[in-house]
Structure 1
C-alpha cells in the first residue's frame, strides 16, 4: 500500500470518519478544492481544534490539506466532529430524570443536534435567497454504533470573526443580522411554507424541567456577585415567575406559533454572539456587516420572536435593545409584511401579534440570560485581573438586571392566567 493509500485509509482526528470520505466530498462538492488540487495528490492532512475544546456539541477542526506539488497552496476547510464533552459540563449538577437517563439523553441530543444541522445545510441553506450562511461541502450523519458524523465547511476565520462574547453588538451590527433574519422569516411563509415543517422541535417536558433546574442553579451562583440591592429587587419576583417557566416554555414552543393570526417560521434557535461572524476590513478589523450566521444545530419551526428576542437579550446592551424595540422592530414588521408577497387581505399577522411573539420570547430569553451571564462571569474571572474583572462583571450584572426587570414587567402586564390552559 503506497503512502497516499495509507493516508486515505486513516481517520480524521479521534473519529471513525475516513480521510478518503472527506476528500471525496470535497472533490464532488467544492470547486475551490478541485481548483487548488488540480492533478496533484494529497500527501498530508493537519487538523487543529480552533474551538479549543469549548464547543458544546462539536469540535471545530481547522483542516489543512497539503499536495505533492509544493508550488500549490494548501487547501483549508473546517470539519465539525460531534462531541458531548462540554455539553456534559454545561448540564452537570442538574437534578431529575435528566441525570437518571444521562447517557441516553446525552447521545440522543448529540445525534439530534448534528443530524439536524447537516439536514439544514443539505436541504435548506441554498434555497433561502442569498442569506449569509457558511458554505457546506457535505458531511455524514451520526449513526449510533457505526458512524461518528462530520460536517465539512468553508474556513471562515481568515475573512471574518466573532465579537468577544462578553461584549455587545452595536445598532448597525444588529441591523445587519435583522436583514438576514428577514430573509429567513419571509422564506418561511412563502416558498418554504411546507419545507420548514421537516424541522420540528423535538424536546419535551423533561427538557423544560432541566431548564428550571439550570436557571435555579445559576441564579444561586450569580447572586454571589450581584449587588445586594439588585438581589433584593429581583429575587422575590424571580421565585414567583420561575414557577410558571415550564408553561411559558411549552406555550412559546408548541402553541404560540400556531395560534390564529400568527405565522410559524424557521428559527435558528441559538442566535448569540458566538454564532455571528462579521466581515473583516483590509486591516483585519471586524466591521458592522454580517458574513455568516453559523451553527444551525437547533433550527426548528417556531415563533417569529425566538431569534429576535435571543439576538437582543443575549447580544446587546439594554440601551440598544430598547432602541431596537422602539425604532427597528416596527420597521421589521412592515418589511416582513411587504416582502411576504402576500396582499393585505391574505397577510393576517397584526403588529400586536408580532410584538406578542417577541415579548413572550423575551421573557424566555431573560431566564436564559441568567445562565449566559453566569457562565461569562466565570469565564472572565479566570482570565482577567481584578480591575478588568470588576468592570466587566458590573456591566454584565447590569445587563442581566435590565433584562430580568423588563421581562418581569412584561409578564406582570400580560398576566399568567393564559398559561393555565397549557396542557403538558
Structure 2
C-alpha cells in the first residue's frame, strides 16, 4: 500500500501451516506495514505437511515452509507452542492459553483440521496407536517402527493418507495391512476404476488391503494389539495408524458466533460474517465459481490461493477467488495428479498411453462438460485437463480415449 493506513494496525493469524504462513508473507507483499503475528500450538517451525505420509515417514528431514530467518526479515512475529482459547469480537482481542490478551485490527483464522480418532471400544488402551497429521505423529510412528521387533502395522482407513502411509511403511520393510470400512478404497473421492488400480498397485507391492472391514474393538496383550472386525476377523498389530478422516477446527469461530456450514463460511474474498475476520485453508466453506457450489477442500493449493486473496482484501484490494482445485498423491512408483472436482459426473473416459511406465488418465464428464482429470504418471494429461476445465473446452471423447491420437490440445477439441 502506498499510504500509511496500516502502519499502526495489527493482523493476528491463528494457525501457522500453509495457509497462515503464506497469508503472513502475502500481507507484506501487498504492502501491510503494521504488525503481523502468527500463533500456532505446534512447537515446530512451520513445515510442509504433504510429505509427512511420504518422504518424511521414510526418514527424510522435515521440509520447512520458510527459513527461520525469513520471518525476521519480513518482521513477522512467530509464536509457536501457543494455544488460542477464545476470540472476543467486541473488544477485538484473542485470549491465549496463559490468560493473556492480544488485540487485533484484522484477524485471520487458518485453524485447519485435526484427525478423527474413531470411538472404537478400548481404543484408548491400544499400544503404539497414532494418527498422521503432524511432524510429531510421524516421529512417533517412526520411533515405534524402529523399536518394534515384528513391525506389523495395521492402518485403519483406505483413503489417500492411509494408502500413502502404507506405501511408505512398506518401503521401510514393515508388514502392512489396510482395513477399509467401505466396499472399496477411495470410495468418496474417485471412480471404482481408480480404486481398482490402487488395490492392484498395493497388492503387487506386498500391502494387504481388505475392504468391508468395520473395526469394532481393539484388545491389547503383552504390548501387542489385536484389531477386531465386525465380520469376526482379527489382525495382530505392533503399530496402528488411524487415517479415517479429519474434523475441521471450527470451535473458536463457532464460539465467536461466526457462521459455520461444513466449515467457516466465507465470501469470495475469504471474509467471514465479521468484516474484520477472515478464514482460509482447510477450515473454510467457500463458493467455487467454476462449479457454482460451496465446497470445503483439504488442499495446499486452496490454502495458498485463499491466503493471497485474503491478504489482498485485508490491504484493500479485492481479488475474487476462482481457482480450479488440484491435488496429488505419491505411492510407490506412481504419481497421481488430480485436477477439478469429479462429484456429479455421469461419464468416465479412460486413456491409456504407451510408455515405459504406467501412464493412464481418467476424465470425468457431466454430459459434455469436463469436471475433473486424474492423471497417473502423466503430467501432460494433468496440464491439459487443467486448461480444458478452466477454458470450458468441448472435447472429442472418441479422440480422447484413442491412444494413437497425438495428445495435444488441438487434436482433442471439438
Q: Please confirm whether the aligned pair reaches a TM-score higher than 0.5, indicating the same fold.
A: no
Considering fraction of residues, name the structure with more strand.
Answer: 2
The TM-score by the shorter chain falls in which range?
under 0.3
**Which structure has the higher relative contact order (CA within 8 Å, separation 6+)?**
1
**TM-score normalised by length of structure 1:** 0.25
Which structure: greater helix fraction? 1
Q: Normalized against structure 2, the TM-score is what? A: 0.25
